[in-house]
């Protein structure tokens, strides 16, 4: 039976036939996505990023890393807007347009149609799609009514999707999709999915676990065929997520359950070459993965804490290199510990210097606060002086030290040489020379 297919927007991507990197907090940052693409991922999802975190950011082209950075100043600074000298900007989202721009899906954490549209509109020109997170069970997401909490408020979830389709998808010609978890019963899940596919989305991903379930619990796939059928009836692509460990396994599960694609999560966190089929080489040794990850991380100047976290997943815990890596404080030290070669070690040193990490002395938080405080006080003093000058009577302003100095300087221009400042009473030697002539 042939089913209809919703049209894919001009700048969007079709999820059918794709093995993709799942959205993962901490593990889905820019270098991880670039590594997954290198080893064969068809598409990559970024980590869930809350709409309110993106709103207010400044979009910048970074000429050093060739990335697009969405940045904002931390709250530990001036509250008048902008930043003070020495105040640091935080990178909220970083993407590499040349490598991943046409394959990157931005996953948004939201609980409100208006803020969802506002945030998605900012990043839509730089990505291939917007995906709504309606499956994350972690408190940081559900507490605000986002993530898996949206499964309990289907009216709100549908309103968010409809607003994104109308205000973002149609305007920017990209697809809008949603990622959910299964509900307790087949009937409840079917009822929800039928509502979702009617909102105008182009794709739906189902994580085959209920909200209370954790990754260590085996995925439940008994509702998967029903979800696939409902999606296909509406012409929507359906991806599966949960306990998919390799490209070959993904292809086998897609054939068994009829899904259009599959997501790989934790397996990709440890070794991105899981996106490579056995016939194309299969899993690469961890040493190769660690080296390539480090290369990407340094090229985009990834935050060191995140890089170190990912290296801890990539390098086996029992390997001596794991213990050596755990003691490092920056790229230079870890490049030496992993013996990455002169080229990458030199790059690591320069990155450490720019990021002020590792063996380079890093300005402490207390020092930044003190510097910002001084800058704020100076700025306030200047504002007060300017305000006082405006309210000062004209006669008073003309008698100010600065005004008097200007008056004296102008007067001196008309003085004879021998009584000007250059030849005044203090310059006896000069006067004597003049008289001698």
Q: What is the pLDDT of residues 258-272, one digit of tens each?
A: 999 999 999 999 999
The mean per-residue pLDDT over the stretch 287-310 comes to 98
Sheet of 67-73, strands arranged across: 58-62, 67-73, 89-95
SS3 68: strand
Residue 81: the pLDDT is: 46
Question: Token pair of 145, please?
Answer: 């009514």
The mean per-residue pLDDT over the stretch 108-124 comes to 98
Taking the C-alpha atoms of residue 187 and residue 105, their distance in angstroms, rounded to an integer, is 30
**Selected catalytic residue, list 30, 57, 136, 158:** 136
Local confidence band at 70 (pLDDT 50, 70, 90 cut-offs):
very high
Residue 415: the pLDDT is: 38
The mean per-residue pLDDT over the stretch 33-55 comes to 97
* pLDDT higher than threshold 90 for residue 154: yes
Residue 146 contacts residue 153 (beta carbons within 8 Å): no
Q: What is the DSSP string of 95-164?
A: E-HHHHTTTEEEEEE-S-HHHHHHHHHHHGGGSSEEEEEE---SHHHHTTT-GGGGGG-HHHHHHHHHHH
Which one has a higher pLDDT value, 148 or 428? 148
Local confidence band at 89 (pLDDT 50, 70, 90 cut-offs):
confident
Q: How many residues are there in the chain? A: 437
Residue 120 contacts residue 168 (beta carbons within 8 Å): yes
Which one has a higher pLDDT value, 147 or 81? 147
Local confidence band at 391 (pLDDT 50, 70, 90 cut-offs):
confident
Residue 352: the pLDDT is: 96
Residue for token pair 């606060």: 369
* pLDDT higher than threshold 60 for residue 151: yes
The number of angstroms, rounded, from the C-alpha of 435 to the middle of its chain's C-alpha atoms is 77
What 8-state DSSP symbol labels residue 419? G
* pLDDT higher than threshold 60 for residue 45: yes
* pLDDT higher than threshold 70 for residue 187: yes
- Supply the angle between the helices 342-355 and 286-299 in degrees, to the nearest 10: 40
Report residue 90: phi and psi, to 5°.
-100, 135
Question: Is 136 among the residues known to form the active site?
Answer: yes
Q: Is 371 exposed, middle or buried (0-12, 13-18, 19+ CB in 10 A)?
A: middle
Residue 310: the pLDDT is: 98
* pLDDT higher than threshold 50 for residue 111: yes
* pLDDT higher than threshold 80 for residue 413: no
Residue 395: the pLDDT is: 53
The mean per-residue pLDDT over the stretch 136-143 comes to 88
As a whole-number percent, the residues of the chain with pLDDT over 70 amount to 84
Which one has a higher pLDDT value, 88 or 349? 349
Residue 421: the pLDDT is: 36
The mean per-residue pLDDT over the stretch 58-80 comes to 82
SS3 376: helix
* pLDDT higher than threshold 50 for residue 426: no
The mean per-residue pLDDT over the stretch 316-325 comes to 95
Taking the C-alpha atoms of residue 103 and residue 203, their distance in angstroms, rounded to an integer, is 15
pLDDT digits (tens, 9 = 90+) for 21-30: 999 999 999 9
Local confidence band at 155 (pLDDT 50, 70, 90 cut-offs):
very high
* pLDDT higher than threshold 80 for residue 431: no
The mean per-residue pLDDT over the stretch 35-62 comes to 97
* pLDDT higher than threshold 90 for residue 133: yes
* pLDDT higher than threshold 90 for residue 87: no
The mean per-residue pLDDT over the stretch 3-17 comes to 94
């Amino acid at each position: 039976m042939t089913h209809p297919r919703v049209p894919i927007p001009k700048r969007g991507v079709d999820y059918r036939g794709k093995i993709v990197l799942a959205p993962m907090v901490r593990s889905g940052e820019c270098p991880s996505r670039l590594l997954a693409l290198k080893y064969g991922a068809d598409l990559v999802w970024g980590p869930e990023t809350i709409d309110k975190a993106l709103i207010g950011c400044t979009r910048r082209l970074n000429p050093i890393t060739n990335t697009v950075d969405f940045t904002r100043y931390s709250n530990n600074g001036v509250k008048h807007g902008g930043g003070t000298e020495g105040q640091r900007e935080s990178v909220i989202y970083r993407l590499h347009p040349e490598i991943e721009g046409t394959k990157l899906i931005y996953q948004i954490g939201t609980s409100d149609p208006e803020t969802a549209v506002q945030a998605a509109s900012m990043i839509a020109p730089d990505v291939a799609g917007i995906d709504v997170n309606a499956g994350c069970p972690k408190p940081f997401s559900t507490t605000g009514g986002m993530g898996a909490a949206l499964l309990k408020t289907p009216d709100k979830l549908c309103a968010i999707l409809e607003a994104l389709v109308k205000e973002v998808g149609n305007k920017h010609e990209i697809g809008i999709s949603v990622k959910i978890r299964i509900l307790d019963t087949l009937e409840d899940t079917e009822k929800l999915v039928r509502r979702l596919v009617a909102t105008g989305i182009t794709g739906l991903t189902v994580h085959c676990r209920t909200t209370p379930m954790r990754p260590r619990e085996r995925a439940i796939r008994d509702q998967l065929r029903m979800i696939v059928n409902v999606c296909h009836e509406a012409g929507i692509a359906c991806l599966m997520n949960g306990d998919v460990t390799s490209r070959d396994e993904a292809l086998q599960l897609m054939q068994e359950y009829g899904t259009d694609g599959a997501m790989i999560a934790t397996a990709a966190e440890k070794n991105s070459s899981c996106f490579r089929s056995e016939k194309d080489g299969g899993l690469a040794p961890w040493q190769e993965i660690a080296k390539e990850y480090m290369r990407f991380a340094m090229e985009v100047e990834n935050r060191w804490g995140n890089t170190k976290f990912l290296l801890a997943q990539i390098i086996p815990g029992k390997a001596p290199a794991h213990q050596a890596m755990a003691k490092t404080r920056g790229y230079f030290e870890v490049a030496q510990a992993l013996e990455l070669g002169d080229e990458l070690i030199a790059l690591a040193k320069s990155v450490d210097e720019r990021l002020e990490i590792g063996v380079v002395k890093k300005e402490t938080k207390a020092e930044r606060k003190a510097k910002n405080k001084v800058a704020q006080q100076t700025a306030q003093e200047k504002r007060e002086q300017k305000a006082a000058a405006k309210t000062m009577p004209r006669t008073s302003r003309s008698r100010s030290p600065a005004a008097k100095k200007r008056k004296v300087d102008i007067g001196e221009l008309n003085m004879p040489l021998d009584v000007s400042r250059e030849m005044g009473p203090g310059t006896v030697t000069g006067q004597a020379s003049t008289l001698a002539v």
